[in-house]
Amino acid sequence: MKKDIKTGFDTICVHAGIGDYEFNPVVPPIYQTSTFSFDTAEQGGSLFAGEQKGYIYTRMLNPTVEAMENAVAELEGGHKALGCASGMAAVHTIFASLTQSGDHVVCSSAVYGPTVTLLKTIMAKYGVETTFVNSSVLDEIENAMRPNTKVVFIETPGNPTLAISDLEEIAKITHKHGAKVVVDNTFMSPALQSPFALGTDVIMHSMTKFLNGHADVVGGIIVVKDEETYVSFRKVLNQLGGVIDPFNSFLVHRGIKTLSIRMQRSCENSLKIAEYLESHQEIKWVMYPGLKSHPQYDIGLKQQKGHGGMISFELKGGFEAGKILMNSVKVCTLAVSLGGVETLIQHPASMTHFSLGKEGREAAGITDGLVRLSVGIENVEDLIYDLEQALEKTKSKELALEEA
């Protein structure tokens, strides 16, 4: 595609980041090489001095990785992007770049669990203190700001509650205090939410999820708005070393071509499933940003182009019903992670959070009947039928228990 034409988002997904390569391939080649040779000592010297653009060593920059980075930067309307080995490598690189000992972070309590752990352990060990807040309540952010606050870190919709935070208002509060807003945009992907358009400063993704979309890559990315930030982040990433490799970059870049239509189908399926679940007698509540019962439904409408592919719900039958549901589904796959073409189902109380015990789980807000669904692109009738037959089994179990 020629660069001098303005296009819509679906077209950008298909064409973004593709440069010019030897032999004019339609997709970027996989430069599966750790290092690049110099023509002369002088050329090597000028590459290292930054006087000439070129590739030196794959940890520093690789053409296949760069093509994927350019694609994500374009999708997010950013300046440049930095490909990371995982979403967590991206989170670490961001905090290592933006904070130092004595600084303070405000973080939404509804963020990915390991992000909380990173802040509470590694960053705390290096002297960076964090205040966790309910970021859906703007006053909580305002009240947590200190003169040494450098970063406000937000995930919206949040993990695992799907609570929505108002990014535009949070950016105003944060900037008034001279700090930067970092958004984990994993759950929405660039197809459904544009945090830069809402005034925020840095975006990150776990590309393991929707961006790649096929459950076969672990990767992360950071998108920035200006060259100065890019250069400072790139130095930190080069030193920490958590870079993505060329082959995984190629797979993510391939996945991005269908991002828009995958998200569209996942949103359509999710709304139908959420409505079905909300009307089911075995279910206590359903949390999905597309349901009018969602507490921040209006903020979602304002800042999102779609409601996403994540649903959580609570089974009336609690722990036992959760286990039966997990063991009875036939189309939904029992697995953690999210954002792939296949629908994944998970019961935190018996799986990810089982070892915490009931009290530990309650402290973490994980109720016994909580189920999380990442809705894929299958036929929605198949997914609903699958949930129907599995929910039926949870009911008979409950009755059997009562009769016994």
Ligand X SMILES: *Cc1c(COP(=O)(O)O)cnc(C)c1O
Residues making contact with ligand X (CB under 6 A): 86-88, 112, 155, 159, 184, 186-187, 206, 208-209, 218, 220
Residue 112 designated active-site: yes
Minimum CB–partner distance for residue 210 and ligand X (Å): 9
> Per residue in 330-346, is it b (16+ CB within 10 Å) or e — as a string?
ebbbeeeebbbeebbbb
Give the nearer residue to ligand X in terms of CB position, either 130 or 206.
206
Give the nearer residue to ligand X in terms of CB position, either 184 or 245.
184
| Chain centroid offset of residue 266 CA | 15
Q: Which helix (H) or strand (E) holds 190?
A: helix 189-192
- Give the residue nearest to ligand X (CB): 87
Minimum CB–partner distance for residue 159 and ligand X (Å): 5
Give the nearer residue to ligand X in terms of CB position, either 186 or 367.
186
Residue 55 designated active-site: no
Minimum CB–partner distance for residue 8 and ligand X (Å): 27
Minimum CB–partner distance for residue 268 and ligand X (Å): 21
The answer to whether 368 and 349 have CB atoms below 8 angstroms apart is: yes
Task: Of 185, 242, 249, give the one whose Cα is nearest residue 217.
Answer: 249
Distance set, CA 222 to CA 79, 95, 251 (Å) = 11, 12, 17
Residue 184 designated active-site: yes
| Active-site hit among 80, 150, 180, 209 | 209
Give the nearer residue to ligand X in terms of CB position, either 150 or 372.
372
Minimum CB–partner distance for residue 2 and ligand X (Å): 34
Give the nearer residue to ligand X in terms of CB position, either 220 or 255.
220
Give the nearer residue to ligand X in terms of CB position, either 329 or 344.
344
> How many other C-beta atoms can be found within 10 angstroms of the C-beta atom of residue 372?
21
Residue 57 designated active-site: no
Task: Of 249, 273, 289, give the one whose Cα is nearest residue 345.
Answer: 273
Minimum CB–partner distance for residue 185 and ligand X (Å): 8
Task: Give me 374's structure tokens.
Answer: 């990442």
E runs forming strands in 78-233: 80-84, 104-108, 129-133, 149-155, 180-184, 202-206, 220-224
| Active-site hit among 10, 55, 59, 395 | 59
| Active-site hit among 31, 103, 112, 201 | 112
The answer to whether 312 and 370 have CB atoms below 8 angstroms apart is: yes
| Active-site hit among 166, 184, 201, 386 | 184
Q: Provide the β-strand partners of residue 287.
A: 312
DSSP per residue over 212-280, as a string? T-SS----EEEEESSHHHHHHHHHHHHHH--BPPHHHHHHHHHHHTTHHHHHHHHHHHHHHHHHHHHT-
Active-site positions read 59, 112, 184, 209
